[in-house]
Amino acid sequence: MTSLILAPSILAADYARFGDEARRAERAGGDWLHVDIMDGHFVPNISFGPEVTAALKRSTQLPLDVHLMIIRPDLYLDRFIKAGAARITVHLEAVHDVAETLRRIRAAGLGAGLALNPKTPWAKAAPFLDRADLVLCMTVEPGFGGQTFMADVLEKVRALALHPARKTNPYRIEVDGGIDAKTATQSAAAGADTLVAGTSLFAAADMAAAVATMRRDAADALARFAKSEGGTKV
């Protein structure tokens, strides 16, 4: 069975009610809670850090999908592991030994993710595809929620979904940025099995209905992709 994961992004929540918002995402049927960490250097925005992440961990049963948009992920890894992350995704473009950082995340028993900015070609990720549990394709320039989905990234999603490395190491493919019911379906049709959505879910009048619609449409598209492309079943 091909499994689809929906990860509501807490970046789009009401920050005055963070715990309640995390529980709202859980009640609405999210699978993971996506947690965006921004340092004001790697991206031109600052979000929050390990203490707030630990508070989220106390607020919800959802596994925390921590996305580090920070220049030195290696220096902060241990603090996010301690905060209770289930998986940690680091950027290929950040300043660190990528293979070593992925190794440390896995050694701590967490899922290791590798993120690529929209303009970073998929081939740059090739040396790491046997060491990652997830590859995140940014579908907006990282830094802010509420931006427009960049459809030209779908070619990269497809290339990574069909890459032979995935046969021996079946990493998930996550898309992040501008995901709504329509772009979720387009992404799943290109092979993305893990969908991050902030604004479209948290701003929906009925979050549970928005999650259900996105899941239904995207799951169908992913199943069609797996059938037609003989893509790796995950």
Q: Taking CB within 5 to 8 Å according to partner kind, which of ligand DX5, Zn ion, none is near residue 50?
A: none
**145 contributes a contact to ligand DX5 by CB under 6 A:** yes
Q: Smallest gap, in angstroms, from Cβ of residue 224 to Zn ion?
A: 26
**231 contributes a contact to ligand DX5 by CB under 6 A:** no
What the block records as the tokens of 58 is: 């106390």
All residues at 6 or more sequence positions from 212 whose CB lies less than 8 Å from its CB, including other chains: 29
For residue 46, count other CB atoms closer than 10 A to its CB: 12
Q: How many residues does the chain have?
A: 234
74, 96 Cβ separation under 8 angstroms? yes
11 versus 125: smaller Cβ distance to ligand DX5 = 11
For residue 61, count other CB atoms closer than 10 A to its CB: 9
Q: Taking CB within 5 to 8 Å according to partner kind, which of ligand DX5, Zn ion, none is near residue 198?
A: ligand DX5
**63 contributes a contact to ligand DX5 by CB under 6 A:** no
Among 142, 153, 160, 172, binds ligand DX5 (CB under 6 A): 142
Among 2, 59, 120, 147, binds ligand DX5 (CB under 6 A): 147
Q: Smallest gap, in angstroms, from Cβ of residue 164 to ligand DX5?
A: 28
36 versus 39: smaller Cβ distance to Zn ion = 36
73, 101 Cβ separation under 8 angstroms? yes
Give the integer Cα–Cα distance in Å for 213 and 222: 14
Give the integer Cα–Cα distance in Å for 2 and 137: 19
> Which one is catalytic: 36, 39, 133, 193?
36
Among 37, 196, 214, 219, binds ligand DX5 (CB under 6 A): 196
Query: Has 130 been annotated as catalytic?
Result: no
Among 4, 5, 12, 153, binds ligand DX5 (CB under 6 A): 12
217, 184 Cβ separation under 8 angstroms? yes
How many Cα atoms sit within 13 Å of 105 on the Cβ side?
32
Query: Has 39 been annotated as catalytic?
Result: no
The residues that are catalytic are 36, 176
Q: Which residues bind Zn ion (CB under 5 A)?
A: 36, 67, 176
